[in-house]
Amino acid sequence: MEDNGTEKWFVITSKPRSEQRAVDNLTSQHIEVYLPKIKRLKKRQGKKVIIEEVLFPNYLFIKLTIEKSNFNAIRSTRGVGSFVRFGLNYATINNELIARLKTDLAESTEQNTIEILTNIDKGEQLIITEGPFQGLTGIYQCKDGLERSVLLLNILGKENKVVIENNHFDVI
């Protein structure tokens, strides 16, 4: 859509667990949609896995031109619940807030590494993904500040404690 100053971000709800369906169907109608997601470490069937979850369940943001948009067609889109309203007024979010949310979520990917590390148990097996030890497996020992951790690596038949940056390894 061209930006003629009347485009606004509107808040809509999705049907339960249908956020992605709503995004897909709205996108196919050439509507700009923003569904904020964040990565989290969860345990599933005894294993820790990183999953992407919706930051605001059942809520999406869509950018519309008030004069040109068909609000009824949007409401009847599969996966969409309704527009959020305050009385007769549609709920809108200013562009700066959406831009800030996008920036903060992009930056929080780095912070998620710290959150993931708080969920790693001593003795858990890891694989090193970057640096001179890439491809080696190690055993998690402890945190070494906010940006590094101590891993136990088997190098040349001997166990060695090595300090590795947190974003240079993953849980196996």
**Over the range 142-163, which residues count as b (16 or more CB within 10 Å of their CB) and which as e?**
eeeeeebbbbebeeeeeeeebe
pLDDT at 111 over 80: no
pTM of the model: 0.62
pLDDT digit string, tens, across residues 30-61: 999 999 988 776 667 766 677 788 989 999 99
Residue of higher predicted confidence among 135 and 62: 62
**For 145-167, what is the mean pLDDT?**
84
Q: 114 Cβ partners below 8 Å, 6+ apart?
A: 146, 166
Contact 163, 150 (CB under 8 A): yes
pLDDT band with cut points at 50, 70 and 90 for residue 122: confident
The domains of the chain, with CATH numbers, are 7-111 (3.30.70.940), 125-171 (2.30.30.30)
pLDDT at 5 over 60: no
Residue of higher predicted confidence among 110 and 121: 121
pLDDT at 144: 78
**For 106-119, what is the mean pLDDT?**
61
138: nearest Cα among 114, 168, 109, 115:
168
110: nearest Cα among 168, 65, 29:
168
pLDDT at 91: 95
According to DSSP, the residues that pair with 32 across neighbouring strands are 63
**For 67-95, what is the mean pLDDT?**
93
Share of the chain above pLDDT 90, in %: 44
pLDDT at 3 over 50: no
The HSE-up count of residue 130 (CA atoms within 13 Å, CB side) is 6
Q: 5 Cβ partners below 8 Å, 6+ apart?
A: none
- Residue 24 CA from chain centroid, whole number: 17
According to DSSP, the residues that pair with 10 across neighbouring strands are 62, 92
pLDDT at 2: 42
pLDDT at 71 over 70: yes
Tokens of 171: 């849980």
pLDDT at 170: 79
pLDDT at 81 over 90: yes
pLDDT at 50: 72
